[in-house]
């Protein structure tokens, strides 16, 4: 007589669990290999471009630099960017009505692929300059770098990389995730109040909403309609990004504060305006 053994329900569930776990591990393994292949391909292309063997066919990163009266620091910012950014990087500079010789210096720059200089006769504000620059970007990532050297362009790399790596669609470089180099208690308190208020309306848990070092998925930021002309850009873009399904990360970034005698432009009126923008864009 032949005995037929029938597996019990617990055996079947255990077998299903094993198959499910095996499939998940295989999928994670394949995804990791695909990311490694993409990284190797990107590195190989960057090396070829850097050696002059391959022309840049597309840009991975677009760096926007809004400029107003930064003749002394802008050349150093551009030099630093050329030292630390990947070869497939384009730079979009907006001279927002400078009167200190910045315009003349930019006019004397030799033209080159991957650098766009836009000029305005009158100053319209940082937000307006960024809006204008975004329309001229083509990179997979769009990042912002001020021209005053309060932020080191080398730190912008850690803000950009999570987007290139597929881990986020927006990344903020926080000055407060590490040791802060801002000696002004009033400035730190004001930033905390603005960030906390913004978080209440967006549901985010940022530590530095007002940071300059921001990076976004290029297609995402180019699809967002922006309105603010001055420093209200920061709460506006934060609210509108939060209203999407974008993954938002914060990473540490360095900061070397400068005083108003050194050209710092943001003031208490801009802080009041920022609170108004937080309320205005509370629904995205």
Query: Would you give per-residue pLDDT tens digits along the chain (284 residues)?
Result: 444 444 444 444 445 555 556 666 666 666 565 555 555 555 544 444 445 544 555 899 999 999 999 999 999 999 999 999 999 999 999 999 999 999 999 999 998 889 999 999 999 999 999 999 999 999 999 999 999 999 999 999 999 999 999 999 999 999 999 876 666 788 889 999 999 999 999 999 999 999 999 999 999 999 999 999 998 999 999 999 999 989 999 999 999 886 555 555 566 687 889 999 999 999 88
- Residue 7 burial class via C-beta count within 10 angstroms: exposed 0-12, middle 13-18, buried 19 and up: exposed
Q: Taking CA 139 as the corner, what is the angle to CA 69 and CA 55, rounded to the nearest 5 degrees?
A: 100
CA dihedral for 215, 69, 198, 135, sign (positive or negative): negative
Q: What is the dihedral of CA 164, 166, 172, 173, to 10 degrees?
A: -50
Separation CA 102–CA 97 (nearest Å): 9
Render the burial of 71-105: b for 16+ CB within 10 Å, e for the rest. bbbbeebbebbeeebbbbbbbbbbbbbbeeebbeb
Predicted pLDDT at 114: 95
From residue 231, how far is each of 78, 89, 210 by CA, in Å? 23, 26, 9
Per-residue model confidence (pLDDT) at position 1: 47
Token pair, residue 153, equals 């362009």
Query: What confidence score (pLDDT) does residue 48 get?
Result: 45
Cβ(231)–Cβ(266) under 8 Å? yes
Cα torsion angle, 103, 107, 110, 114, sign = positive
Q: pLDDT at position 216, please?
A: 98
Q: Is 152 exposed, middle or buried (0-12, 13-18, 19+ CB in 10 A)?
A: middle
Contact criterion met (CB below 8 Å) for 191 and 268: no
Domains and CATH numbers, the chain: 61-183+210-230+247-259 (3.90.550.10)
Overall pTM > 0.85: no
Q: How far apart are CA 144 and CA 91, in angstroms?
A: 10
């Amino acid at each position: 007589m032949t005995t037929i053994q029938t597996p019990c329900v617990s055996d079947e569930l255990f077998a299903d669990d094993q198959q499910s776990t095996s499939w998940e591990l295989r999928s994670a393994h394949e995804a990791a290999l695909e990311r490694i292949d993409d990284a190797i391909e990107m590195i190989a292309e960057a090396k070829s471009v850097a050696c002059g063997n391959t022309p840049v066919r597309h840009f991975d990163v677009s760096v926007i630099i809004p400029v107003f009266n930064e003749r002394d620091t802008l050349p150093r910012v551009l030099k630093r960017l050329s030292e630390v950014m990947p070869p497939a990087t384009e730079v979009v500079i907006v001279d927002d009505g400078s009167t200190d010789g910045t315009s003349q210096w930019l006019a004397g720059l030799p033209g080159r692929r991957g650098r766009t200089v836009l000029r305005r006769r009158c100053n319209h504000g940082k937000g307006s300059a960024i809006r204008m620059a975004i329309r001229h970007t083509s990179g997979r990532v769009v990042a912002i770098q001020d021209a005053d050297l309060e932020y080191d362009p080398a730190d912008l790399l850690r803000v950009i990389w999570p987007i290139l790596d597929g881990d986020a669609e927006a990344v903020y470089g926080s000055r407060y995730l590490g040791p802060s180099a801002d000696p002004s208690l009033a400035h730190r308190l004001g930033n905390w109040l603005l960030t906390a208020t913004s978080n209440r309306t967006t549901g985010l848990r940022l530590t530095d909403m007002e940071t300059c070092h921001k990076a976004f998925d290029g297609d995402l930021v180019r699809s967002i309609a922006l309105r603010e002309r001055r420093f209200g850009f920061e709460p506006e873009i934060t609210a509108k990004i939060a209203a999407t399904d974008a993954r938002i990360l914060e990473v540490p970034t360095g900061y070397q504060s400068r005083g108003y005698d050194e050209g710092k432009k943001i003031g208490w009126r801009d802080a009041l305006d920022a609170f108004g923008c937080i309320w205005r864009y509370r629904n995205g």
